[in-house]
Amino acid sequence: MTWQAGILTLFPDMFPGPLGLSLAGRALREGRWAIDALDIRSFATDKHRTVDDTPFGGGAGMVMRPDVLDAACGAAAGKIPGAPLIYLTPRGRVLDQGMVRDLASGPGVVVLCGRYEGIDQRVIEARGMVEISAGDVVLSGGEVAALLLLDACVRLLPGVMGAAASAEEESHGAEGLLEYPHYTRPADWQGRAVPEILLSGHHAEVARWRRAQAEAATRTRRPDLWDAFLRRKAGAVETKPSRLDGQPAAA
């Protein structure tokens, strides 16, 4: 079954965007995944196609209307039964590789790209949205974050990457460690030599060196990931069937 992405946005022309190129683009043309960008404005009911209004309680900016969004969510969810409805927001849980693996293993995703000051809380609750953040930054809208999320998912789909082992060895792979450093020709560049071990031909020693480098990088650069790695190694973290919160999108 083809993995599907439903995007709810005010700017459908932003999709597939860069996802139409490189590995994701080839996989899209091969039918390994599909994308459908729906214009939220098409679900507005007034002649001006209004999708936002002033916030109750006052304050700057505008808020996206729950009635318009609910109609859009219903249309998108009906096309991908069982897919989680994701709202991209700085308030959400920060996206990580475990969440990406869960999403990639399902039927697909429905992603709501917010604009303005945000969306009415009531539609978040009524639709059981999964709130996800692309990082501790504020963007103009959810579209860029949606591209990031989809790219991360699509590359894990069967047949998309050339070598399945690559997905496990890279940063945030199966064990959650950062990636080890890479080197290629020339062996000596501007007086900087490739580490001798990588030229030795001893594969077991190379593997041990790479593992040590990955552990050292994780320990010094991302102590949060290192602590999580140690807990998993000690068996202190119970494996859960899903890392996603919320309910599947209602039809």
Residue 139 corresponds to which tokens in the numbers above?
């963007």
Q: Tell me what pLDDT residue 249 has.
A: 43
Dihedrals φ, ψ of 91, to 5°? Answer: -75, -10
pLDDT at 244: 73
Q: How far apart, in Å, do the first and last CA atoms of the chain sit?
A: 20
If we measure between CA atoms, which residue out of 40, 82, 38, 35 comes closest to residue 64?
40
Q: Which two tokens stand for residue 163?
A: 């070598």
Render pLDDT for 40-98 as a digit per residue (tens, 0 to 9).
Answer: 999 999 999 999 999 999 998 999 999 999 999 999 999 999 999 999 999 999 999 99
Alpha-helical segments (H) within 173-248 = 203-221, 223-233
Cα distance between residue 201 and residue 153, in whole Å: 34
- Strand positions, DSSP E, the chain: 3-9, 33-39, 52-53, 63-64, 85-94, 108-112, 130-133, 188-189, 192-193
User: What single string gives the DSSP state of each residue in 103-127?
Assistant: HHTSSEEEEE---TT-B-HHHHHHT
Average pLDDT, the chain: 91
The Cα 132–Cα 143 span in angstroms is 13
Summarised one tens digit per residue, pLDDT across range 148-193 is: 999 999 999 999 997 554 555 555 566 889 999 999 999 999 999 9
Query: Could you give all domains of the chain from N- to C-terminal order, each with its CATH number?
Result: 3-154 (3.40.1280.10), 164-233 (1.10.1270.20)
